[in-house]
Amino acid sequence: MKNLLITVKSFLILALIGLTSCATGDIAVFKVLENGGEEANINDITNKVKDADIILFGELHNNSLNHWLELRVEKELYKQFQDKLVVGAEMFEADTQLMIDEYFAGLYPTKNFEDEAKIWKNYKTDYKPLLEFAKDNKLRFVATNVPRRYAAFVARKGLKELGSLDKEAQKYFAPLPVMFDAELPAYKEMSAMPSHSKEIKFMAEAQAIKDATMAHFILKNWTPGKKFLHFHGSYHSDNYQGIVWYLKQYNPNLKIVTVSTVEAESTDSLSTDDKKKADYIIVIPDDMTKTY
């Protein structure tokens, strides 16, 4: 393609930076919208981020552009807030926190960490840059998710049975009793989904223990004056439910900014529901390269 003209419509700060939308010719690469569908105003976004305590960045796990945007957000927030920035992610389970801390302290090489930390299959391309940036800049990086064995336990037994687990196990999920509102639309929708196994009777409660645990470890590692940037699947914070709901139960005074990511055939066409999922919505073409 000759004479390729790249125009930057807005520089998405994604509720945080200045990269809102990139276009090559007439092809929109991505677009950032405010809640309701208006294109993001950079000044409004910057002001909201400056006032925020928690920034919840909802992603699509296999979207390569999404992960690059996350890294840009992390870098730009670091420029603004330096050591006041704390980073956390769903992709690391709470029982790997010691390994992360030891790795950041230089106790062993990368290979040892990656062999033992239960990393996701797309870790090296998608999440390693996020963790390594934090490591290089001496930022706190928090493993926020419940260990998958306990989520599986809840899926079969329900939240009420968590108290039967050993006290040592209970260090790795939200304090008991875990609140659960079965009427929240996200959980009602999940409860209505058919299960692939007769043993899985509490799918929505398994989702809730993830949401509650992520909220718990976010707050455990946040103090006033800090900025906590958290990465997770969009479903965990869409429509101000999931992690958002639990954060507000724990601390109703928190100032939270949410980001959601959606794929669409065209960045100019988005459903009314999608336009209201978060404070800022990233719209990415549905044929964007996937990492798995």
**Two tokens at 229?**
């940037």
pTM of the model: 0.89
Confidence of residue 28 (pLDDT cuts 50, 70, 90): low
Q: Is residue 36 part of a domain?
A: yes
Confidence of residue 26 (pLDDT cuts 50, 70, 90): low
Confidence of residue 196 (pLDDT cuts 50, 70, 90): low
DSSP letter for 127, please: I
Q: Is residue 87 part of a domain?
A: yes
pLDDT value of position 288: 87
What strand order describes the sheet that includes 27-34?
A: 6-13, 17-24, 27-34, 280-285, 256-264, 54-59, 227-233, 85-93, 140-145
> 237 or 287: which carries more pLDDT confidence?
237
- Once rounded to an integer, what is the mean pLDDT over residues 145-166? 97
Q: List, for residues 268-278, the tens digit of each pLDDT value.
A: 778 888 999 99
* Out of 27-31, 70-74, 175-179, 250-254, least confident range: 27-31
- Once rounded to an integer, what is the mean pLDDT over residues 23-42? 72
**Residue 166 to residue 185: CA distance in whole angstroms:** 32
Confidence of residue 206 (pLDDT cuts 50, 70, 90): very high
Q: Is residue 292 part of a domain?
A: no
**Residue 100 to residue 86: CA distance in whole angstroms:** 14
Q: Is residue 246 part of a domain?
A: yes
Confidence of residue 40 (pLDDT cuts 50, 70, 90): confident
DSSP secondary structure of 174-231: PPSSPP--TTSHHHHHHHTSPPSSTT---HHHHHHHHHHHHHHHHHHT--TT-EEEEE
Average pLDDT value over all residues in the chain: 88
Confidence of residue 265 (pLDDT cuts 50, 70, 90): confident
Q: Is residue 1 part of a domain?
A: no
pLDDT value of position 44: 56
pLDDT value of position 30: 85
- State whether the Cα torsion 113-242-167-218 is positive or negative: positive
Q: List, for residues 45-86, the tens digit of each pLDDT value.
A: 556 777 899 999 999 999 999 999 999 999 989 999 999 999
pLDDT value of position 16: 40
> How many domains in the chain?
1
Q: Is 134 helix (H, G, I), strand (E, B) or coil?
A: helix
Q: Is residue 102 part of a domain?
A: yes
DSSP secondary structure of 66-121: HHHHHHHHHHHHHHHHGGGEEEEEEEEEGGGHHHHHHHHTTSS-HHHHHHHS---T
Confidence of residue 198 (pLDDT cuts 50, 70, 90): low
Domain of residue 136, residue span? 6-285
The CATH number linked to 58 is 3.40.50.11550
Q: List, for residues 104-128, the tens digit of each pLDDT value.
A: 999 999 999 999 999 999 999 999 9
